[in-house]
Amino acid sequence: MPTARASPSTAISAVSDDPNKRISFTSNSAPLTAGSWNGITITANSNATTLRRCDVQYAVNGIIINYTGNSNNVTVEKCKTRYNSNDGLAISGNNYSGATVHPLIKDNTISNNFYGFELYDYAKPTITGNRIENNTNAGIFGDTNCNAKIEYNYITNNGSHGLWFIISCNADVHRNTIKSNGTRGITCAINSNVLACGANTDTTKGRNEIANNSGVGIYASTSSPNFGKDLAAFYGNNWIHDNTSYEAQQASGGYQIHARRCYWNGQQSNVAGTVYTTPVLSSAPSPVGWGRSTNYDPTYLKGFKPGMIAELPPADSHHNTAMRLTVNAGTNGTLAGWTEELKAAINQGLSTGDWSKASEVVAALHRELQEARVPEVDFALVNTYANDLAVAASIRKMLALVLMENDLVASKTSDALTKLTAFTQSNSENAAELLANAGVIHLYRLNDLAATQTILSQLQTMAKNGDPVAVELVEAFNIILPRYQRQQAIIPQRGGLEKPVVASLKTPTLPKVPALAQNYPNPFNPETTIRFHLHERQKVRLVIYDLAGHRVRTLVDGELVAGEQAMTWDGRDHNGKTVASGVYFYELLVGNKVERRKMTLIR
């Protein structure tokens, strides 16, 4: 028989060890509808918290996992998290979490939510062996220094992106099948340098299949993800093929996608921007794509067989268990020689104009800091180069972020903000991105929403003045801020974690944000996503116009449910013909309210 046990201050366990019996967490309302209760919130410590063979359905967020201090000893295994109005799983990493313990999300089905996963604020889960499918927006959305390990997953038929990373995410992505998603297979934006490769002989690294996505297979903007290099330690062995527009697209000058030693079904020339593809594998690598993780249980895909029903009432009487433990952050080891290697790489760039080596060294240093492995490096030297105008812009930006990260490791938040302010003023070419990092610190470390909104206003001004990075960052904050406001309504506040959560969703608190967001990306080619928010179920009309005011395409004309909406325009008119480069307007009509924004298509 399955069991469900809870202890108020130690651990929570809801476990069925019988493959034929499952535990159901749902609402007692009828009919069952998404968003009718709050879901499960776990604030974890060193006492192991486990959910196994649980079905968590029809909530706002199915499962929320919050770090306490620097630890998060949670396992979610062989569960089904479905039909939730926001996230299947949301994992928050508690600012800088140079931790020893992180959540394990293994062999689950995550489907029919808005986002399958949302990872933010230094979250670092291992997500392995899951089916992540049929979610309205992205399968996995990560923002703000997430270092997740994403491996052996089947990620398919999600409405927009399979994987979507923004703002300094450095996820490891290996042996996944990412196919048939609505807009892109993988998006890396705003300094998100995903690693998807490994040693040539290592069958566990790289080896993703990225195929049949409706737009671009791999898309990067102001990021240089690594899907393979011509080095024995960094072979891609990825299989990238049959994506609708481009197999890979780098949208930003000065950045590149590394995708060497991959197989493309002969389509390696179907790329845009700086994408390094050669040498090319002559045949598909084996093994590739989705695999089975340790102790894989095939019964988790079978139909629901009721065992124990743990029926939860609506959220007004739902209590979550909260726990606290303080773990001192420290180094997990040191790496010698960083100062010498960094200096040599930058000097090579100064003498030859080739900044690739320096980029690799600084990106690796950034990753080590986020992993809490504080290396032996002369940070005074880093500070000097971060202000050196002779150093390439992207390297100066990365050096500034490394210094910011170093201060956050030492819990010197005010020092980090002071540095970012100085670098923003002296490095105009990177001002938007550095400013955004300050906004993220205000939001997640200081919980200062007003300061973050002030920074967003500055970014909006920069975007209106034509800064393309600011345009992307405005879109990023239009995603982050509503999510932050939603979570504040239903999760424990830091510093009061022992108190149970009592929240009511009978009159839900919805984000107070403009209904219509700036499209992303902008400028774009060949397609862009338009997002807007509805406070209730309403009739909506979303129309594209050209500069002369002629209607080009009607994207929506009908009733939609409450919540966040995302619509994609593929740059075609109502007859299916490709339209020319230029400025276009999109107009949202909801009731008697009309909002209009402009966007730029570049062929």
Express each pLDDT in 15-64 by its tens digit: 888 888 899 998 877 677 888 888 898 876 657 889 999 999 999 899 99
Distances (CA, A) of 563 to 449, 509, 528, 540: 21, 11, 20, 13
- Which pLDDT score is estimated for 70? 66
Among 44-48, 207-211, 252-256, the range of highest mean pLDDT: 207-211
Q: Are 569 and 160 in contact (CB under 8 A)?
A: no
Distances (CA, A) of 202 to 171, 174, 488: 18, 11, 42
Percent of the chain at pLDDT exceeding 90? 36
Domain boundary among 455, 487, 519: 487
CATH number at residue 590: 2.60.40.4070
Q: Are 565 and 490 in contact (CB under 8 A)?
A: no
479 & 415 share domain: yes
305 & 278 share domain: no
- In a domain, residue 332? The reply is no
Q: Which of 339, 327, 237, 341 shows the shortest CA–CA distance to 282? A: 237
pLDDT, mean of residues 420-437: 89
Of the listed ranges 197-206, 399-408, 523-532, the one predicted with least confidence: 523-532
Task: Provide the Cα torsion 174, 177, 180, 185; round to 10°.
Answer: 0
Q: Which of 520, 491, 497, 414 shows the shortest CA–CA distance to 87? A: 491
- In a domain, residue 137? The reply is no
Report the C-alpha gap between 195 and 248 in whole angstroms: 15
pLDDT, mean of residues 268-280: 95
391 & 461 share domain: yes
Phi, psi of 24 (to 5 degrees): -110, 125
**Domain coverage including residue 227:** 149-287
356 & 224 share domain: no
pLDDT, mean of residues 401-425: 89
Q: Which of 197, 178, 181 shows the shortest CA–CA distance to 259? A: 197
Percent of the chain at pLDDT exceeding 70? 83
**117-137 confidence digits (pLDDT tens):** 999 888 889 999 999 999 988
* Order of strands across the sheet that contains 126-128: 3-6, 12-15, 49-52, 74-77, 104-106, 126-128, 149-151, 172-174
- Which pLDDT score is estimated for 95? 57
Report the C-alpha gap between 90 and 118 in whole angstroms: 5
Report the C-alpha gap between 88 and 116 in whole angstroms: 5
316 & 353 share domain: no
- CA-angle at 144, arms to 12 and 229, nearest 5°: 110
176 & 279 share domain: yes
pLDDT, mean of residues 477-499: 58
pLDDT at 490 over 80: no
Report the C-alpha gap between 288 and 18 in whole angstroms: 31
Among 3-7, 93-97, 108-112, the range of highest mean pLDDT: 108-112
197 & 104 share domain: no
Q: What type of residue is 588?
A: L
449 & 504 share domain: no
Report the C-alpha gap between 468 and 472 in whole angstroms: 7
- In a domain, residue 517? The reply is no
pLDDT, mean of residues 182-197: 92
Number of domains in the chain: 4
269 & 385 share domain: no
157 & 235 share domain: yes
Distances (CA, A) of 334 to 17, 359, 415: 41, 21, 23
Return the SS3 of 484: helix
Tell me which of 300 and 43 has the higher pLDDT: 43
**152-189 confidence digits (pLDDT tens):** 999 999 988 999 999 888 899 999 999 999 889 999 98
- In a domain, residue 330? The reply is no
- Which pLDDT score is estimated for 194? 93
pLDDT at 278 over 70: yes
pLDDT, mean of residues 2-17: 56
- Which pLDDT score is estimated for 550? 81
Domain boundary among 457, 487, 517: 487
pLDDT, mean of residues 328-335: 32
CB-based burial label for 562 (10 Å; 0-12, 13-18, 19+): middle
- In a domain, residue 516? The reply is no
Domain boundary among 479, 508, 537: 508
pLDDT band of residue 331 (cuts 50, 70, 90) is very low
Return the SS3 of 412: coil
Phi, psi of 87 (to 5 degrees): -105, 145
- In a domain, residue 421? The reply is yes
CB-based burial label for 182 (10 Å; 0-12, 13-18, 19+): buried
Phi, psi of 544 (to 5 degrees): -100, 135
168 & 278 share domain: yes
78 & 91 share domain: yes
Mean pLDDT taken over the chain: 80
Tell me which of 304 and 579 has the higher pLDDT: 579
Q: Are 108 and 300 in contact (CB under 8 A)?
A: yes
Report whether the peptide linkage leading into residue 314 is cis, meaning its omega lies within 30 degrees of zero: no
Distances (CA, A) of 472 to 258, 384, 426, 459, 469: 22, 29, 21, 10, 5
Phi, psi of 144 (to 5 degrees): 65, 80
- In a domain, residue 513? The reply is no
- In a domain, residue 333? The reply is no
